[in-house]
Amino acid sequence: MMEEFKRTRRLRENAMIRGLVRETRMSPDSLIWPVFVREGSGIYEEIPSLPGQFHYSPDKLAYAGEAALKAGVKSLLLFGIPEKKDACGSGAYAENGVVQEGLRALKSRFPELYLITDVCMCEYTDHGHCGILSGEHLDNDRTLDYLARICLSHAEAGCDMVAPSDMMDGRIAAIRQALNANGYTYLPILSYAVKYASAFYGPFRDAAGSAPSFGDRRGYQMDMHNAREALVEAAADTAEGADLLMVKPALAYLDIIQRVSERFDLPVAAYSVSGEYAMIKAAAAAGLIDEYRVMCESAVSVYRAGARMLITYYAKELAEAMRRGDIG
């Protein structure tokens, strides 16, 4: 008698057994919601390029804090948009800068929130590049001192974690040294270790006003053709003192998330960037896809690839989907 074939469908028969044998587990605790803080007052305005996302002035950030906690999201990633910009991005490290004021506003009202700050200069420089220029060349080593200064100002304002996104060589070591020397040995660094030069950043650059005024960022962000280089970048940041590693963007780089998560023992985060979010929103608005299901499926793919944290504009909606048991 011929042996019975393997009946793998037994473990897919109903929702209970599917939940019981699920390989990829997700939690709202692993979600991080990016929030845009704009200098000024009374600002609570939807961002046209990112439907459902808003610009908040520091005095209106309570709206974001309340929405996050109501949804079960406990971690925010803050991006600052200053009123004035200059060649050295001085608003990024000003004591009363927009992120610094935002941190104080949120910490005083919502001490239970975990606040991560993006550390870069592109939103603050009048040329839109991520550091200090020498002519039209970005000066890597001069930029390190400024990045360390920004991190210190964020630490002094009460952040829980800093996340440098500039892709300068040596930045993690410079930041770690500065933090340690000033008593912030406990403050973790989430390194944008593997950040590709990507067309998926378009809506963010519109929302943050951070497009470069000349050239592009391919000289310091990674080439999309390279995978082994991602491991070199992650290894360097690990050796310099990073506590967590990030891969950005997410969906077009799932293979990179997998490689980094398998090679390194540090927790790996992935950033589902503005273009990914905007594409889903646009396709849903055109009636082409089921937004909810595509949102869920996309998020699961990132965790399945090996990410332990997901930075996403869908953080609140994904937390609800996890509570409902549709993912998680």
Residues taking part in catalysis: 195, 248
Torsion angle of the four alpha carbons 63, 28, 221, 199, in this order, in degrees rounded to the nearest 10: -70
3-state secondary structure (DSSP) of residue 11: helix
Under 8 Å between Cβ of 78 and 116: yes
Considering only CA atoms, give the Rg of the chain: 20
Asked whether the bond before 249 is cis by omega within 30 degrees of 0, the reply is: yes
Q: Report the C-alpha gap between 118 and 250 in whole angstroms.
A: 17
Torsion angle of the four alpha carbons 316, 322, 324, 325, in this order, in degrees rounded to the nearest 10: 160
Q: Report the C-alpha gap between 20 and 95 in whole angstroms.
A: 50
Q: For residue 46, what are its two tokens?
A: 């939807």
Q: Report the C-alpha gap between 30 and 18 in whole angstroms.
A: 22
Adjacent-strand bridge partners of 119: 164
Q: Report the C-alpha gap between 36 and 44 in whole angstroms.
A: 10
Q: For residue 126, what are its two tokens?
A: 């009048």
Torsion angle of the four alpha carbons 138, 180, 76, 81, in this order, in degrees rounded to the nearest 10: -40
Please, which residues have CB within 8 angstroms of residue 187's CB and are 6 or more apart in sequence?
A: 155, 159, 160, 161, 162, 179
Q: For residue 222, what are its two tokens?
A: 């990674």
Q: For residue 83, what are its two tokens?
A: 């009123």
Burial class of 270 by CB neighbour count within 10 A (0 to 12, 13 to 18, 19+): buried
Number of helical (H) and strand (E) elements in the chain, helices listed first: 11, 12
